[in-house]
């Protein structure tokens, strides 16, 4: 089936229900169609340039999904990882940002080493 004949919903489902604008355009959806889908309620905008199929169940961690879409292959680290796994008593501030690093960087490798040291 060509990109022109696939439904937008099937394109989103093939990508796990979440697409960046660039991925949607590469899959055959133009920007206007994407905005029309958003305005019609077929998709929701998680953040700038990140869209999700609205018919899917609610997300447990929408911030993590957004970061994963924006930083493919990234590693959630520092307090963000601790909070996600409920391993900290610190309550993140509303203005705090999610900590993530590209896999293979010093920050990501340091967070993996720290996790290994804590479990051994």
Spatial separation of the C-alpha atoms in residues 55 and 111, rounded to whole Å: 35
Q: Does 77 share its domain with 48?
A: no
Q: Does 109 share its domain with 78?
A: yes
- Domain assignment present for 35: yes
| pTM for the whole structure | 0.71
- List pLDDT tens digits, range 82-106: 888 889 888 666 545 667 777 776 6
Q: How many structural domains is the chain composed of?
A: 2
- Domain assignment present for 104: yes
Q: Does 16 share its domain with 42?
A: yes
Q: Would you report the helix, strand and coil content of the chain in percent, each value rounded to 5?
A: 45, 15, 40
- Domain assignment present for 60: no
- List pLDDT tens digits, range 9-54: 999 999 999 999 999 999 999 999 999 999 999 999 999 999 999 9
Kindly state the tokens that stand for 90. Answer: 């610190």
Q: Which residue has the higher pLDDT, 75 or 33?
A: 33
- Domain assignment present for 23: yes
- Domain assignment present for 80: yes
Residue found by looking up tokens 């967070």 in the block: 111
Supply the range of the domain harboring residue 29: 8-53
* pLDDT beyond 70 at 7: yes
């Amino acid at each position: 089936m060509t990109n022109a004949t696939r439904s937008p919903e099937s394109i989103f489902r093939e990508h796990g229900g979440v697409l960046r604008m660039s991925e949607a355009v590469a899959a055959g959806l133009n920007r206007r169609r994407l905005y029309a889908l958003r305005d019609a309620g077929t998709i929701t905008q998680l953040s700038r340039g990140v869209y999700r199929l609205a018919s899917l169940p609610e997300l447990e961690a929408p911030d993590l999904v957004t970061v994963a879409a924006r930083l493919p292959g990234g590693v959630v680290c520092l307090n963000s990882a601790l909070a996600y796994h409920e391993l900290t008593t610190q309550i993140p501030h509303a203005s705090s940002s999610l900590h993530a690093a590209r896999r293979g960087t010093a920050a990501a490798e340091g967070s993996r080493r720290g996790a290994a040291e804590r479990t051994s």
